Amino acid sequence: MTASQAKAQFAKWEVSGLLGVLPPNALDRSPIVSQVRARLSLLQLSQAQELAVSLTKQEAQNYEGYFWTAFVELQRGDLYSAVRHSRQAEKLRPVGNAVQKVLGLAYLQLEQNLLFQLKMKEAIELDRADFAPHYCLGRFLQSQNRNHAEAAKHYLLVIERKPDHYEALHYLGLAYEAAGDMAQAKTLYRRALTASEGARSSFSLAYQGLSRVDRLNNLPESALKFARQAVFLEPKLPDNQFELAKVYAALGRLPEAIDAFKLSLALDATQSSAYYQLFSLYRRLGDAKAADQALADFKRVVSCYGKEK
């Protein structure tokens, strides 16, 4: 995931409340906090930051000013400042575990993985009923460490605390898929779909997962409707276009597969595997020139970024 994708994802989590970083309104001490929240909900980050900074000046011993300043800085990608202000908030004995979560996420974005894990574990100790630190740890373990088994343990704890957490349901499905348990993966993807539809979300990854499972089970016709639905919901996700291309290729619809791989590459030109797939498809079609170009692109991407994990 690129930094901008991660940021977009983060913002989406925030809107849907899935990330659960922000403290509940009931814990607010200063009346200024409700104004900060109002500005944030309108995506007026500068005004929200000004209010938060003014709070640090008016109530120097209240952690909230530093916390909200750090939160806005995290949203804006000013990560060093987000860490500094979160650390100041930490020293003022904050209520709940929100400071630890924001600080942990800032550490994660700064690739300080040990400190991220440390803060998420602290957040768990401070509020054992909170799903959010388990979700963050699960995503970290799965996406960065490729440790699906440990990630699954955290997702189960998320779902125990928040049964309609559709992202956790989906990623738990992904962990089962990685372990080769396709039946369980499919069940979880379906549960994720139901939960996301209940939340009226345009979450597409569960459709993508269902497509992949059916395709790998040699059911490309069935996979096609899921892959198309994933693209319909989130057409700008390169993985959705990639999955649709794989389904077309499995169905022998090579020109459509080529178009979909090209669309996927237009969204993310660093995917070496998409170039390799194009190379194979052009060869099958007997287009040697296009195949050579795709192979050259594949080699160039691998030499720049390495092979995809």
Partner 1 sequence: MSKAVAALCFIWVSAISVPLSSYGSPQARTPEEFDLYLEFQQTTDPAARHQIALRFERTFPESALLAHVYESEFEYARSHEQRQSAIAAGEKKLRLVPNDIKALLGLAEILSYGTSDLPILSRAEQYARKALVELKEMQLPREMTRNDCDKIQKSLLSRGHAALGFAVGKRGEIAESIKELETAIAVSPEPVGSQLLFAGKLYRTAKRERDAIEMFRRAAQAGPAEITSLANVELQRRK
User: By CB neighbour count within 10 A (0-12 exposed, 13-18 middle, 19+ buried), where does 268 fall?
Assistant: middle
Instruction: Tell me which residue of 302, 273, 278, 274 sits closest to 291, measured CA to CA.
Output: 278
CB of 272 to partner 1, least distance (A): 10
Nearest-angstrom CA–CA distance, 19 and 224: 31
Q: How many residues in the shown chain lie near partner 1 by CB under 8 A?
A: 23
Structure tokens at 56: 């640090």
Structure tokens at 151: 């990630």
Told to check if 300 binds partner 1 by CB under 8 A, we report: yes
Rg (CA), the chain: 22
Structure tokens at 175: 């962990």
Instruction: Say which residue the tokens 């928040």 belong to.
Output: 162
Of 107 and 171, CB closest to partner 1: 107
Pattern of binders to partner 1 over 1-40, x per CB under 8 A? Answer: -xxx------------------------------------
Which member of 29, 111, 130, 164 binds partner 1 (CB under 8 A)?
Answer: 111
Of 208 and 271, CB closest to partner 1: 271
Which member of 45, 95, 115, 182 binds partner 1 (CB under 8 A)?
Answer: 115
Positions 90 through 109 that interact with partner 1 (CB under 8 A): 107
User: Would you tell me how many other CB atoms lie within 10 Å of the CB of residue 27?
Assistant: 13
Nearest-angstrom CA–CA distance, 170 and 139: 11
Which member of 270, 273, 280, 293 binds partner 1 (CB under 8 A)?
Answer: 270
Structure tokens at 254: 């090579």
CB of 84 to partner 1, least distance (A): 6
* Binding span for partner 1 by CB under 8 A among 46-54, 114-122, 124-132, 237-245: 114-122
User: By CB neighbour count within 10 A (0-12 exposed, 13-18 middle, 19+ buried), where does 129 fall?
Assistant: exposed
Told to check if 306 binds partner 1 by CB under 8 A, we report: yes
Which member of 114, 180, 200, 289 binds partner 1 (CB under 8 A)?
Answer: 114
Which member of 8, 11, 149, 269 binds partner 1 (CB under 8 A)?
Answer: 269
Torsion of CA 137, 142, 143, 145, to 10 degrees: 90
Told to check if 87 binds partner 1 by CB under 8 A, we report: yes
Which member of 12, 84, 253, 283 binds partner 1 (CB under 8 A)?
Answer: 84
Q: Give the SS3 label for residue 227.
A: helix
Which residues bind to partner 1, rule: CB under 8 A? 2-4, 80, 83-84, 87, 107, 111-115, 118, 268-270, 300-301, 303-306
